[in-house]
Amino acid sequence: MNHTLVREISRRAFLGRGAAGLGIVALNTLAGSRLSAMAQAAMPQSKGVVNPFDVPPKARRVIFLYQAGGPSHLETFDYKPKLAEMSGKPMPESLTRGQQIAQLQGQKLTCFGPTHGFKRFGESGQTVCELFPHIGGIIDETCIVRSMWTEQINHDPAHTFMNSGSIITGRPSMGSWVLYGLGAETDDLPGFVVLVSQGNGGQMQPIAARQWSAGMLPSRFQGVRFNSVGDAVLYITNPPGVSRDIQRDSIQAINALNALEDRSLHDPELQTRIAQYEMAFKMQMSVPGLLDMSNEPPHILEMYGAKPGDGSFASNCLLARRLAERGVRFIQLYHRDWDHHSDVRNNLVFKAQEVDKPTAALITDLKQRGMLDDTLVIWGGEFGRTPMSQGRGGRDHHIKGFSFMLAGGGIKKGLAYGATDDLGYAAVENPVSVHDFHATMLHLVGIDAAKLAVKYQGLDVRLTGPQGGTVVRDLIA
Amino acid sequence: MRRVYNVLMIRQLLCAAAGCVVASAGARAQPASVSFNRDIRPIMSDTCFRCHGPDRNARKADMRLDIRDEAIKPTRSGHVPIVPGDPDRSEIITRVFASGARVMPPPSAHKELTAAQKDTIRRWVAEGAIYEGHWAYERVKRPAVPTTADGSRIVNPIDAFIQDRLRRRGLTPASEADKRTLLRRVTLDLTGLLPTSADVRAFVADTAPDAYEKVVDRLLASRAYAEQRTMRWLDAVRYADTAGFHGDNPIPAWPYRDYVLQSFLTNQPFDAFTREQIAGDLLPNPTAEQRVASAYNRLNRTSAEGGIQPKEYLAKYGADRVRTLSAVWLGSTLGCAECHDHKFDPFLTKDFYAMKAFFADVQETGLVPDRGARAWGAKLALPTDAQKRALADLDATLAAAKSRLDDAAVMDPADEEAREIALKTRWQNGELQWTWQHPIAARAQNGATLTIYDQEPVESNFYLDGSLKTDVKPGDGLIVASGANPDRETYVVTIRPGAGTWGELGLEVVQDESLPGARYARGADRFLLSEVEAALVEGSGAPRPLRFTMATVNDTPPSVSSINDPAMPPLAAIDGDAKTAWGIRFGEARNPFLALRFAGRVETSADSTIVVTLRHESDLRRAVIGRFRLALASDPFAWPPVADAGRRARSKDPSGKTTWASGLPEDVMKALRRPADDRDETERNALRDYLIFSNPDLAELYRDVQLAEAERGLLDASIPHVVTTVSVDPAVTHVLPRGNWMDDSAPIVEPAIPRFLGALDTKGERATRLDLANWLASRDNPLTARTFVNRTWREFFGMGLSRALDDLGSQGEWPTHPELLDWLASEFMHPELDAASAHDWDVKHLIKLIVMSHTYRQSSLADANSGEADPENRLLAHQNLFRIDAENVRDVALQVSGLLSDRFGGPSVNPVEPSGYLAALNFPKREYSAGHGDELYRRGLYTMWQRTFLHPSLLNFDAPTREECTVNRTTSNTPLQALDLLNDPIYVEAARTFAQNALASGGRAFNAQLDWIFDRALNRPATAEERTILRGLHERSLKRFSADLSGAREFAAQGGSHLPSAVDVVRLAALSTVTRAVLNLHEVITRN
């Protein structure tokens, strides 16, 4: 054990009225120290506590296109002709007995066939809903997982579970874990950025800031939301009347005064504080450039369908690429209002208009820039929707089976993985739990989910929960 | 056996890895034997107990190592895990030293033992494998205070314990901090504020031996002390002002916060404080305060999301209560036992559910409504005596008015039939219908732009049948507000109705997705229409005011109320009182329609115009209607039409002709279309109600009832309410296998405390929350006092004596000074020192002991020696420094700038917050509305605690969202904090006001002003180097602002506080850069 590490840990312990005060110990750092020198030599270095990497990383960053509200797998990626045949008939009780249900509690359960057709796309011949021709166009780059399942049936807890692997709040979100584990590759932007877009149809379910919280990890690992109204990053703009020169001058004065203080006060936080003011200024300088899309050529804007500054999913997809280029580790785009309790048929048309083209454009754009290979792109929501109808042509929340689409970052191409039963009710073939998904995602970025833990309230808290998750090796190229 | 408690687990690991001796107490007097609690339990807890501990279901190989009797028995395989005194025959020793597949712990556990750890275990077995009970579960015994030869730095027993350990490590305590540092420290710690310049001068000048004690007593008696204690307690009990799930709407909780404030202010004994919160409602003849205290049980997050399964959420709420109670009082992680027996501590799953069962009598529902009369379940109203009297008067008035109306409304059947026939005729003749108006002019008085869309197409976005539709259609008289968006606004609309006779004016509030305030208003979360006025203009004559006598909304009686909130009644729009308003907050996809009855018929000729004024003068900023239409009806009793957003109120009258809204409630129309005998009860009642409503002879009496109800609603809304605990028949509590709420197969449990901690004697009766509370706050409970003392210690040293504040169990940290912790716990429960002036469970006594100690008062500067020997300063050879908490960062900036309000308690407030921050919320869709006046400058403690979107400035500085109990905040140091302190409007305003005051009171010269500034923010003069730096900043800023006058003006105009007109904005702006730099200093936000 070398002295730098001892110092680093005692420093952490000291800093942490927070970090250590909580009883947080960077277990991974300790675990790392116990690895043999041989293993260390073979493994590349990360900038976070997972150092060296637990497994060779395939992805350097993650872009999660989070479709909030619960997209219907039955009108996106999971074609169920049998459900169409059964449409209007009672749902077999053998499937539904004793299962959780949301708004359909106590109601007659009736099969409701897909409201749109499906087509085969690409060389891989994957079936995708015909509303998504652009995604169909890049389908050979992707892997569709048709056997996701989750444990929470209402939006708020389901988001929390999908993001943090726990329904108890106060656990770090997946972006925070990845940032904590690997650090960032930029110091003038946050390492974990969140973008939220509103849709043009359906129901706008609320999304709590908890979904990108760092939980018990230090707050520098929390997701920073970029806003489409007002300051893109809160408080990033100088106060009215304060020019860049005055701002720079002020920060220099603050840092000079803090440096004087550092001579008499032996507070390790002081050096950090000085560095944070420098970084704050750098962020102030770099964010406007990041957001200024005037240098994007028209064909790129057209490919995404983005009108810069409109806060749409399309603009956010383009912004996600720009963030990825600048070294942001984890980028999460929430796109709202997939909660189609009624009229799933028409609402899907809205959603397809909003997400089909930009999703495909992002993957195409990353590919043409040589970034797709090391960027893991995830597309999916907190749960799926019932094969049973609700109200006027709607579908209720559904947790037993739904779909994710994955691309890039070490994911096998053109693969369809897992399956639900004939009616699209339950994942029956190769089911993938949320914890399995988390384990796989962490594995792709070079982290062993079982090892990345912080000690909190006497537990080794992990993204994959106390039971752990299994890496789905079949998904990995 | 002599115990030396100086090794914390982590350092032990590090030392071991580095090859130094385990338990490396440098100055240990004698070779120590291995101690189970100190040396072995931490290792075993981390590496063995998961599979060989208390959890029966997880146990492997039938081997249990946490209990000696089990560990020395042969297992099924015949191996003996531990043979005391004989490591070579002990299976665990064989296995931990094994390699390959047989090694323990197995590689799959990702837990490896170091060589030194293995040796320690071996030595422990060799020495006889002596087990010890876990320290925290042993009854608190008052340890003897160490005696020491050198008493020069010993103020009280705390110092004796601390210095005894220091001396044995060859360390000495630091000297007392200088007076200025000490005063800043103790003032910040006790009150969250800084000492004033006068405080510092007085303290420095006071050379009396009790100068410091006088300061401490003064601070302990202050309201700010209570505020600071309350802030921490609220984290623990997860107090917040909103529900936390889904729509995250406000909950009535602040009276509970005020209860906590009063408790700390009056130094209520902690045992009583505990009892009142957990079981205040069960105390004999509970007082209002005690019932407010019981709100504690209702502070958990709740959901109003449609489609939740109540049972699932009741399970969540119950589990939250166990987790919170266990962290706050027991310092235990009992929450782990929700799904399985605890892996490390002797808590069983059954214990978890038995604890949950204590709360099974709390009246609650799974879906907790966030609107309407049943919102938030059981509530307690807290009227003042005057309000009580007013309420009683109003109730009497209302009852009398109702009975007068009922008496007068008795109709003989023939009369009723005649009225019904007349009504049907009027209806069929179209006399009840509304005529939509096409305004000829519309303007806003405070800056907004009003556009009339008549034939012009206008885009509308609205929900219809569950999805959002977009329409581009002629507006048909729609008025749309745009452009400037002032906090208050008045619309003046002129209509020319043509020749006619009019009985009512109608206002349709039109929802649109573009409107952030519940889709109605241009801001806030509702619209609030303070007053509607109208005047008739004939030719060039003077406007003749038109009076209104009645206001009806399509959901008010006689049909069922659904979207109306009694706090915002329709009659408030015509009561001449700008403070009251008609408003609607919820009402997704509804276009409310307000019908206002003219006092007497209004006759218009072809050229007459009516000028309608809509005033929005509420304190809620931007609760201003965004889109609306006006209508007129001839009949004074035309009923306001019901319309979905986007779907105009049309209905077919019996003749088949489509008209605008027919002017009757739906059920009345249904009734009129059928023969009397075919009507159902709803229809019959609706018709009877409407006949009463529309009987001109009853109009006055009807209005009296409505007025009394409106007044009652307004009065009731002005009375504080708080969620409270109401005890009902306890629900059945099952153990839920693996926490699965759908599985009822496991046994039912009765309320009980964790078995290993004892049993409550309730004489065979079911144990209650009161029994639980009495046990928590009893001196027999080993955990409550230790937990509270440990948490309190952290507030004064930055770290607990055990760092894991919420886990005193075996996975927590062995305390650095167990005897001190126990001595303090004992002294807290039953003071023996200064016993005359203290009482049992005396929080102020405990805190005073701590802050009076030399240990607390010593300098935070480490000498080189102690830094080496104790890099984390766990032995406290000096004080620690740390950043102050989020609320205090705000408090201090406002305090030194002179903006801070000293109001104590009261409703939570909305300080300034960035717009759009709440955009991801819904139900209702909303925009943040900042408060007014001193509400903008109150202490952080009083900030509206919006759980899902906590105020970003608090969040940036690590305030917890309080979705869950938090007993230990993190303290981070991030660029977002720098951006916040630099650019957040409140800190800019603080800097500006601070500079303004320095210009006014600090003298003319920059040097003098700087002294004035430093004196307030840092309680010390500036050094020469600091002066040079800030003078440079000042001079360059002067130059820059002189060249950029408009910039100077903008900078100087920040915030809502008063800016004198005579001020020189360049000088103010330039000095504001200096105050801003000072407020950003590490020293300002650091407690030293």
Note whether A288 contacts B: Cβ–Cβ < 8 A: no
pLDDT tens digits for range A375-411: 999 999 999 999 999 988 999 999 999 999 999 999 9
Note whether B756 contacts A: Cβ–Cβ < 8 A: no
Distance from CA of A208 to the nearest CA of B (A): 5
Helix axis angle, A268-291 to A3-15, nearest 10°: 80
Chain A partners of B468 at a C-beta cutoff of 8 Å? 200-202, 337, 350
Distance from CA of A216 to the nearest CA of B (A): 7
Contact: A254, B1081; criterion CB under 8 Å: yes
For the record, the structure tokens of A193 come out as 């950025």
Among A461, A114, A9, which residue's Cα sits nearest to residue B14? Answer: A9
Contact: A203, B971; criterion CB under 8 Å: no
Three-state secondary structure call for residue B286:
coil
pLDDT of residue B636: 96
CA separation for the pair A67, A70 (Å, rounded): 7
pLDDT level of residue A133 (50, 70, 90 thresholds): very high
Rounded to the nearest 5°, which phi and psi values hold at B570? Answer: -55, -35
Which of B335, B742, B961 has the CB atom closest to A210's CB atom?
B961
Chain A partners of B800 at a C-beta cutoff of 8 Å? 21
Note whether B1042 contacts A: Cβ–Cβ < 8 A: no
Minimum CA–CA partner of B795 in chain A = A17
Which of B247, B925, B972 has the CB atom closest to A219's CB atom?
B972
Largest CA distance in chain B: 114
- Which A residues in the span 196-225 are in contact with B, Cβ-Cβ below 8 Å? 196, 198, 200-210, 213, 216-220, 224
Cβ(A376)–Cβ(A63) under 8 Å? yes
Note whether B1049 contacts A: Cβ–Cβ < 8 A: yes
**Which residue reads 């209806």 in tokens?**
B427
Q: Which residues pair with A416 in a beta bridge?
A: A144
Three-state secondary structure call for residue B524:
coil
Which of B14, B948, B966 has the CB atom closest to A1's CB atom?
B14
For the record, the structure tokens of B996 come out as 């303004």
What is the Rg, in whole angstroms, of the alpha carbon atoms belonging to chain A?
23
Q: What angle do CA B559, B565, B570 make, to 5 degrees?
A: 70
Contact: B973, A15; criterion CB under 8 Å: yes
> Buried (b) or exposed (e) across A120-145, using 16+ Cβ within 10 A?
ebbebebbbbebbebbbbbbbbbbbb
Contact: A154, B345; criterion CB under 8 Å: no
Amino acid (1-letter code) at residue B589: A
pLDDT tens digits for range A228-251: 767 889 999 999 999 999 999 999
Minimum CA–CA partner of A234 in chain B = B914
**What is the CA A200 to chain-centroid distance, rounded?**
22
Percent of chain A scoring above 90 in pLDDT: 69
- Which B residues in the span 464-483 are in contact with A, Cβ-Cβ below 8 Å? 465-468, 470
Note whether B1073 contacts A: Cβ–Cβ < 8 A: yes
Cβ(B853)–Cβ(B155) under 8 Å? yes
Minimum CA–CA partner of B1027 in chain A = A257
Chain B partners of A30 at a C-beta cutoff of 8 Å? 13
Q: Please tell me the pTM assigned to this model.
A: 0.88
In this prediction the ipTM stands at 0.89
Classify residue B911 by its DSSP letter. -
Cβ(B302)–Cβ(B317) under 8 Å? yes
Chain A partners of B988 at a C-beta cutoff of 8 Å? 239
Contact: B916, A15; criterion CB under 8 Å: no
Chain B partners of A276 at a C-beta cutoff of 8 Å? 973-975, 977-978
Which of A34, A245, A258 has the CB atom closest to B1082's CB atom?
A258
pLDDT of residue A21: 31
HEC assignment per residue over B332-364: CCHHHHHCCCCCCCCCCHHHHHHHHHCCCCECC
Contact: A241, B248; criterion CB under 8 Å: no
Note whether B873 contacts A: Cβ–Cβ < 8 A: yes
Task: List the B489-495 sheet strands across, edge first.
Answer: B441-444, B489-495, B609-616, B531-537, B544-546
Chain B partners of A229 at a C-beta cutoff of 8 Å? 915-916, 919
Note whether B992 contacts A: Cβ–Cβ < 8 A: no
pLDDT tens digits for range A63-121: 999 999 999 999 999 999 999 999 999 999 999 988 888 888 888 999 999 999 999 99
Chain A partners of B1047 at a C-beta cutoff of 8 Å? 240-243
Contact: A238, B961; criterion CB under 8 Å: no
Contact: A204, B922; criterion CB under 8 Å: yes
| Measured CA distances, B285 to A74, B282, B289, B290 (Å) | 59, 8, 11, 9
For the record, the structure tokens of B220 come out as 């302990």
CA separation for the pair B556, B594 (Å, rounded): 10
pLDDT of residue B661: 62
Note whether B99 contacts A: Cβ–Cβ < 8 A: no
pLDDT tens digits for range A265-309: 778 789 889 999 999 999 999 999 999 988 999 999 999 999 988
Tally Cβ neighbours within 10 Å of residue B16: 23
pLDDT of residue B28: 37
- pLDDT averaged per 10 residues, chain B (length 1088): 34 34 36 75 83 83 85 86 92 88 83 87 91 88 86 92 91 95 98 97 97 98 98 98 95 98 98 98 97 98 91 95 96 86 84 97 96 91 97 97 94 89 90 91 98 94 78 92 97 96 96 92 97 95 96 62 76 95 85 94 96 97 97 93 64 44 83 92 92 94 94 94 98 92 92 94 95 96 97 96 88 88 97 93 98 97 78 92 96 98 98 91 92 96 97 94 90 92 97 96 95 97 97 98 95 81 91 98 96
Contact: A16, B970; criterion CB under 8 Å: yes
Note whether A43 contacts B: Cβ–Cβ < 8 A: no
Distance from CA of B528 to the nearest CA of A (A): 24
Cβ(B477)–Cβ(B436) under 8 Å? yes
Classify residue A295 by its DSSP letter. G
- Cα torsion for B383, B386, B388, B394, to the nearest 10°? -120
Chain B partners of A7 at a C-beta cutoff of 8 Å? 871
Chain A partners of B914 at a C-beta cutoff of 8 Å? 227, 230-231, 234-235
Amino acid (1-letter code) at residue B421: I
Chain B partners of A102 at a C-beta cutoff of 8 Å? 307-309
Note whether B688 contacts A: Cβ–Cβ < 8 A: no
Minimum CA–CA partner of B513 in chain A = A200
Percent of chain A scoring above 70 in pLDDT: 90
Which of B14, B308, B323 has the CB atom closest to A6's CB atom?
B14
- Which A residues in the span 346-405 are in contact with B, Cβ-Cβ below 8 Å? 346-347, 350, 391-392, 394, 396-397
Contact: A250, B1073; criterion CB under 8 Å: yes
Please, what is the average pLDDT of chain A? 88
pLDDT of residue A198: 82
Contact: B1030, A284; criterion CB under 8 Å: no
Cβ(B326)–Cβ(B278) under 8 Å? no
Distance from CA of A414 to the nearest CA of B (A): 33
pLDDT of residue B247: 92
